């Protein structure tokens, strides 16, 4: 069985807000210098979901896990991280640095990459990339490939050509199944991701990475990069909402609590 | 006069045969857009036993309500809803399609966009029409930034974040019409099957509608920290929320999570207890009228969004606060 996990490498989404800056003129994020890119956390959990499926199948299973990414040429940090977790091999589609929020081009090109890999049974993606937070690409791939998609998974199992997913609802959990091939998007409720072991990290260096260009998979110029983009980024900015905080003083916790309760009453909040 | 647009279609989710608040908020937005840029407001509802919903949605701003009343729409299932919704959107051909930024809406909207070969902006906070083009402002980078996007194709699909729009005051005398549409869904075409649904029972006030929300984070020190939060919630008729970090440790139910990928709340009072104030968390509570925080770290980011703050140990302050509020309520 072939599992493809689509991953994206991004700037660490948990940097202190003061470090996050944008160039409003260029409408782009100013990368924090000296910071190495990370796998988008939901994508990392998608890799984990694939590994759990392979673990459940036991030793000697025929499950092959391929990670796929679209990134500028040479951007291999994300792929390396996924291989070190235990994925078997990788495909890097080098695109003229497209990174926008529309998701349209990304979904198209990932779908074509997956078609080119061939005979893929299960596709896993994060529920959204933790940079643009759009949550469009996974569902887009499924629509383009005309396969069923199940979103916001916290548990994924495969038996006899059927994927069974526990998915998160606002007020509970739902179990959904679909015949393969299918696509599943992974939510953070999937839980902890394993650590990359020393052994696996060493092995990862030798795992095959296929470096594809758009032409390799039959995409022409009009289908890649900025030419294919259908949305316009009109503006990118950091909202300012600092407000003056009034600190409640007191020598003891009881005093502070009493003083806060008074303030809340004065403000008619309680 | 700015250029006119072709109307707005609002997909209104139903829960227990009632339109969700976010649906009414979106109708308010649609009405405001149509009042200044022309076009009609079409509300679309899927569900069962939908009598009365037509008049209700007209009162909240719809000119036209399309009702797809069918037992298959009793519970949300994106794949099953898509054929009908795609057909309706293609027929109505509005300039903008609004869908709630709920878990169902974010499951549905991207599918709709790709099926109709149009584009979608998720998690929008506002929409302005400039020279006839919808400019959608959405949160990105975990809430740290905002982007404004426009699309080259119409209709533009947008999912709207809860509590970012104002619902209209309902006017029963508003004119409008509703009609029932029939489903084109072929059940045999479905490739995914819902096997089981387990819903948590909400006790007390729902997070989204609570006037006071008391949320706890890692500073609580453990699951027992939620006890004082629950006590206060009960005293003031509020609801309890949490940071994702607290949910991840199972200190409280998952459904408590406030933030980017959790609930969005905009209460009168948001009391953040032992929460650092990461942008991902603020994405779900930043629209609260008043934020009050208790944190032992004077440099915690949460104070930047707070009206009142206590720098202190919440494990000592909270029990004392329970007693003080008891006194107030006595
Ligand atoms: C893609 C992505 C999505 C995310 N989505 C969400 C989301 O939807 N919701 C969400 O909440 N988070 C989300 N997060 C996580 C978020 O970035 C933070 O990690 C999380 O909100 C931190 O939770 P916390 O404030 O409880 O914990 P911490 O950041 O560890 O903060 C604990 C705070 O408690 C204080 N404290 C410690 N002890 C005491 C004490 N005795 N008394 C008082 N204060 C004390 C500390 O000073 C600290 O400020 C997301 C992260 C990512 C990367």
Can you give the CATH number for the domain in which B18 is found?
Answer: 3.40.50.620
- B184 and B58 share one domain: yes
Q: What is the pLDDT of residue A71?
A: 86
Could you tell me if B181 and B68 are in contact, meaning their C-beta atoms sit under 8 angstroms apart? yes
Within a domain: B165: yes
Ligand 1 atom with the shortest distance to the CA of B242: 11
Q: What is the pLDDT of residue B1?
A: 45
| Res. B168: pLDDT tops 80 | yes
- Judge whether A266 is closer than 8 Å to chain B, CB to CB: no
Q: What is the pLDDT of residue A162?
A: 98
Verify whether the Cβ–Cβ distance B141 to A13 is below 8 Å.
Answer: yes
> Is any atom of ligand 1 closer than 6 Å to the C-beta of B259?
yes
User: Among the residues of chain A, which ranges form H helices?
Assistant: 41-57, 77-85, 104-117, 137-145, 198-204, 225-228, 253-266
Which of B129, B162, B189 is the last residue in one of the domains?
A: B189
* Domain region containing B277: 207-329
How many angstroms does the Cα of residue B217 sit away from the middle of ligand 1? 6
CATH number of the domain encompassing residue B313: 3.40.50.1220
Q: Which of residues 121-160 of B touch A (CB under 8 A)?
A: 121-123, 135, 138-142, 144-153
- In chain B, the number of structural domains is 2
Chain B positions touching A269 (Cβ under 8 A) are: 212, 268-269, 290
Within a domain: B198: no
pLDDT digits (tens, 9 = 90+) for B215-236: 999 999 999 999 999 999 999 9
Chain A positions touching B303 (Cβ under 8 A) are: 245, 247
Chain B: closest CA distance from residue A28 (Å): 10
Average pLDDT, chain B: 95
Q: What is the pLDDT of residue A265?
A: 93
Verify whether the Cβ–Cβ distance A136 to B113 is below 8 Å.
Answer: yes
- B180 and B214 share one domain: no
Q: What is the pLDDT of residue A98?
A: 59
Answer with the residue of higher pLDDT: B204 or A189.
A189
A209 alpha carbon, distance to own chain's centre: 20
Q: Are strands B177-180 and B119-130 parallel, antiparallel or unpaired?
A: unpaired
Q: Which of residues 128-147 of A touch B (CB under 8 A)?
A: 128, 130-136, 139-140, 142-144, 147
Within a domain: B69: yes
- Between A30-34, A139-143, B108-112, the lowest mean confidence (pLDDT) is in A30-34
Within a domain: B216: yes
- B111 and B220 share one domain: no
> Is any atom of ligand 1 closer than 6 Å to the C-beta of B257?
yes
- Residue B130 to residue A171: CA distance in whole angstroms: 38
Closest C-alpha to B48, from B12, B79, B17: B17
| Res. B321: pLDDT tops 50 | yes
Verify whether the Cβ–Cβ distance B269 to A269 is below 8 Å.
Answer: yes
Verify whether the Cβ–Cβ distance A22 to B145 is below 8 Å.
Answer: yes
Question: pLDDT band at residue B317, thresholds of 50, 70 and 90?
Answer: very high
- B142 and B97 share one domain: yes
Q: What is the ipTM of this complex?
A: 0.95
Q: Which CATH architecture has domain A2-228?
A: 3-Layer(aba) Sandwich (3.40)
Q: Which of B102, B307, B313 lies nearest to residue A253, judging by beta carbons?
A: B313
- Residue B108 to residue B100: CA distance in whole angstroms: 10
- B103 and B159 share one domain: yes
How many beta-carbon pairs below 8 A join chains A and B? 236
φ/ψ of B71, rounded to 5, equals: -60, -25
Q: Are strands B119-130 and B18-19 parallel, antiparallel or unpaired?
A: unpaired
Ligand 1 atom with the shortest distance to the CA of B279: 17
| Res. A100: pLDDT tops 70 | no
Closest C-alpha to A42, from A185, A201, A150, A194: A185
Q: Which residues, 6+ apart, have CB-to-CB distance to A148 below 8 Å?
A: A142, A178, A179, A182, A183, B79, B191, B192
- How much of chain B is in helix, strand and coil states, percent to nearest 5? 35, 30, 35
Chain B positions touching A245 (Cβ under 8 A) are: 303-304, 306-309
> Is any atom of ligand 1 closer than 6 Å to the C-beta of B56?
no
- B36 and B111 share one domain: yes
Find the mean pLDDT for residues A64-93.
Answer: 93
pTM of the model: 0.95
How many angstroms does the Cα of residue A13 sit away from the middle of ligand 1? 13
> Is any atom of ligand 1 closer than 6 Å to the C-beta of B243?
yes
Question: pLDDT band at residue A185, thresholds of 50, 70 and 90?
Answer: very high
- B31 and B171 share one domain: yes
Which of B189, B223, B247 is the last residue in one of the domains?
A: B189
């Amino acid at each position: 069985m072939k599992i493809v996990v689509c991953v994206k490498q991004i700037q660490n989404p948990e940097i202190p807000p003061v470090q996050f800056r944008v160039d409003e003129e260029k409408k782009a994020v100013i990368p924090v210098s000296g910071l190495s890119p990370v796998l988008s956390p939901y994508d990392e959990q998608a890799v984990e979901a694939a590994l759990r499926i392979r673990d459940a199948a036991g030793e000697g299973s025929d499950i092959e896990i391929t990670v796929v990414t679209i990134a500028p040429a040479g951007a291999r940090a994300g792929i390396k991280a996924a291989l070190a977790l235990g994925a078997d091999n990788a495909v890097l589609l080098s695109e003229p640095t497209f990174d926008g929020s529309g998701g349209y081009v990304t979904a198209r090109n990932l779908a074509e990459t997956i078609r080119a890999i061939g005979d893929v049974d299960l596709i896993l993606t994060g529920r959204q990339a933790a940079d643009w937070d759009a949550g469009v690409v996974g569902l887009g791939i499924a629509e383009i490939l005309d396969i069923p998609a199940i979103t916001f998974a916290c548990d994924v199992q495969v038996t006899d050509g059927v994927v069974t997913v526990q998915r998160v609802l606002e007020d509970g959990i739902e179990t959904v199944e679909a015949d393969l091939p299918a696509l599943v998007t992974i939510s953070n409720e999937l839980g902890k991701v394993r650590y990359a072991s020393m052994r696996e990290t060493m092995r990862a260096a030798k795992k095959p990475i296929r470096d594809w260009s758009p032409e390799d998979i039959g995409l022409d110029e009009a289908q890649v990069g900025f030419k294919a983009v259908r949305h316009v980024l009109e503006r990118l900015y950091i909202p300012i909402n600092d407000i003056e905080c009034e600190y409640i003083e007191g020598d003891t916790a009881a005093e502070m609590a009493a003083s806060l309760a008074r303030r809340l009453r004065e403000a008619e909040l309680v | 006069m700015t250029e006119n647009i072709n109307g707005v279609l609002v997909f209104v989710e139903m829960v227990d045969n009632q339109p969700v608040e976010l649906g009414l908020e979106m109708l308010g937005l649609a009405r405001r857009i149509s009042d200044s840029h022309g076009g009609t407001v079409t509300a679309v509802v899927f569900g069962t036993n939908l009598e009365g919903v037509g008049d209700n949605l007209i009162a909240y701003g719809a000119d036209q309500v399309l009702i797809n009343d069918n037992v298959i729409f009793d519970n949300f299932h994106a794949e099953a809803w898509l054929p009908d919704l795609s057909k309706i959107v293609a027929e109505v051909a509005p300039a903008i399609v609004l869908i709630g930024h709920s878990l169902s809406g974010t499951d549905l909207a991207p599918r709709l966009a790709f099926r109709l070969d149009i584009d979608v902006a998720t998690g929008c906070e506002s929409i302005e029409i400039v020279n006839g083009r919808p400019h959608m402002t959405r949160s990105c980078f975990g809430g740290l930034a905002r982007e404004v996007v426009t699309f080259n194709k119409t209709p533009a699909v947008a999912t709207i974040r809860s509590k970012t729009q104002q619902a209209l005051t309902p006017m029963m005398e508003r004119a409008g019409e509703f009609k029932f549409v029939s489903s084109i869904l072929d059940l045999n075409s479905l490739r995914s099957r819902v096997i089981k649904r387990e819903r948590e029972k909400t006790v007390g006030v729902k997070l989204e509608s609570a006037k006071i929300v008391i949320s706890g984070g890692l500073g609580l020190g453990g699951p027992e920290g939620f006890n004082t939060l629950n006590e206060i919630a009960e005293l003031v008729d509020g609801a309890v929320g949490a940071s994702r970090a607290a949910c991840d440790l199972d200190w409280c139910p998952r459904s408590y999570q406030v933030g980017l990928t959790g609930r969005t709340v905009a209460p009168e009072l948001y009391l953040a207890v032992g929460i650092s104030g990461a942008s991902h968390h603020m994405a779900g509570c930043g629209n609260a009228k008043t934020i009050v925080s208790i944190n032992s770290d004077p440099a915690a980011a949460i104070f930047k969004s707070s009206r009142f703050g206590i720098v202190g140990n919440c494990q000592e302050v909270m029990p004392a606060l329970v007693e003080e509020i008891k006194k107030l309520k006595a």
